[in-house]
Amino acid sequence: MDGRDIGTTVFPEAELKIFMTAEPEIRVMRRFKEMYAKNEHITIDEIRHNLELRDYIDTTRDESPLRQAADAILLDNSNLNKEEQLNIVLEWVKQRTEKQYI
C-alpha cells in the first residue's frame, strides 16, 4: 500500500515501512513525462510548481502531515529503475522475515 500518510497514520504498526522519495528535479522530470503523454501543452514549470505546492500542503497540514515515520526505512529512488527498487524492497522484506523466525 502506498500513500503520503500510510506509515504514520493508516498503518502505524506495520512491520515494515518504507518512505520512498527522490530528488526534486528527478520527481519533476518523471511527472512531466507522465503528464506530457496526456497533455502536450503542459510545461516543466507548471509541473515543478504543482509538486512544490503539493509537498508544501502535505507537509504542513494539521491532520496527518507527510513525514517519514521514525521506524521507516528511507528509499531514495532517484537513480533506481523500478526493478532495482523492487529488488531492494524484497531484500528488506526477506531480512525482516528472517529475523522473525530466528
Taking the C-alpha atoms of residue 92 and residue 3, their distance in angstroms, rounded to an integer, is 19
Q: How confident is the model at residue 5 (pLDDT cuts 50, 70, 90)?
A: confident
Looking at this protein, which amino acid is placed at residue 8? T
Domains and CATH numbers, the chain: 6-100 (3.40.50.300)
Give the start-end residues of each E strand in 1-102. 18-21, 73-76
pLDDT digits (tens, 9 = 90+) for 15-69: 999 999 999 999 999 999 999 999 999 999 999 999 999 999 999 999 999 999 9
Which pLDDT belongs to residue 6? 85
Average pLDDT score over residue span 3-13: 85
Measured in residues, the chain has a length of: 102
Mean pLDDT of 88-100: 89
